[in-house]
Chain A
C-alpha cells in the first residue's frame, strides 16, 4: 500500500527525511499536523500541555471521545491512523524559552500558539537558537469570511500568514482557522523542499 502514490513526484523521499516541530496542537497545530502527515513528513514533534475539551471541537482535529485526553496523545492516535510509520515525539507540557534548544532535531518550527506574547518569545527564541532554520508562524485567523485579507509575509527565515489583525476574542471558526493551518503546512513543505 503506497499512500503517497498521488503525491507530487520527487517530494516524498525528501520529506520523509524531515522533522517538523509543531508548537501548540490546537486549531492551527492539529490541522497543520494532519496536513504534514499526509504530505509525507518523516517526523513530527508535537508540543501541547492541554487536554481536549468540548469547545475545541468546533475547529480542532479532535473527536468527542478525545475529550479529557492530552491533546498530543489524541492527535498522535489520529495521525497514526493515517500514517502508522510516522515518527512522533510527544511533549505533553507547556514549554518556555529554556526548552527551545531541545528542539534541535527539528528542521523547521511551525508556530501554533494561542497567545501573541507566546508567539513572540517562541519566534524570537527559535531564531536566536537556529538562525538558519525556518519558522512558519500565524497571526490573525479569527472570525468568519474575509478570505481575501489572509496573506503571507516573509522576512529572512520567518514566514507568517494570516490577516495580522483579527483577534480570537472575536471568536474562532473552523474554516478560517483550518485555512491558515493549511497555509502554514503548505509553506512548511515548500521550505523543506528548498522552494520557498
Chain B
C-alpha cells in the first residue's frame, strides 16, 4: 500500500514506477510535480523510478497563473 497526498491509498506492487502510479491515478503528466517520501522525482525519471512499499507520494497539481 502507498499513500497519495496524505489521503488516497493505492495498492502497491513490486517494481511499481511513478509512471505506473500516475496511470492508475489518471494524472496528466504536463501539469504536475511529484515527490516520493519527500524527494522530488523529475519527469524524466517517471518511467524508471520505483516506488518503495509504504511510500508517501505527493502529487502537486500545477495550475496556470502567477
Contact = CB atoms under 8 A, between A and B. Distances in A.
Interface residues of B, number: 19
A116 interface: yes
A66 interface: no
A26, A29, A162, A165: most-surrounded residue (chain B CB, <10 A) = A162
A139 B63 contact: yes
Given A117-B30, A156-B35, A167 B63 contact: yes
A153 B63 contact: no
A29, A156, A168: most-surrounded residue (chain B CB, <10 A) = A156
A123 interface: yes
B30, B35, B60: most-surrounded residue (chain A CB, <10 A) = B60
A172 interface: yes
Interface string A117-150: 1011001100110010000011111100000000
A111 B42 CA distance: 17
Q: Give the secondary structure class of B's interface.
A: mixed
Contacts of B33: 119-120, 123-124, 137, 158, 160
Contacts of A128: 40, 42
Q: Give the secondary structure class of A's interface.
A: mixed
Contacts of A172: 65
A158 B61 contact: no
B40 A124 contact: yes
22 contacts: A27-B66, A116-B30, A120-B31, A124-B33, A124-B43, A127-B40, A137-B60, A138-B66, A141-B66, A153-B58, A153-B60, A155-B38, A156-B35, A156-B38, A158-B35, A160-B33, A163-B63, A164-B60, A164-B61, A165-B61, A166-B65, A172-B65
Interface of B: 5, 30-33, 35, 38-40, 42-43, 58, 60-66
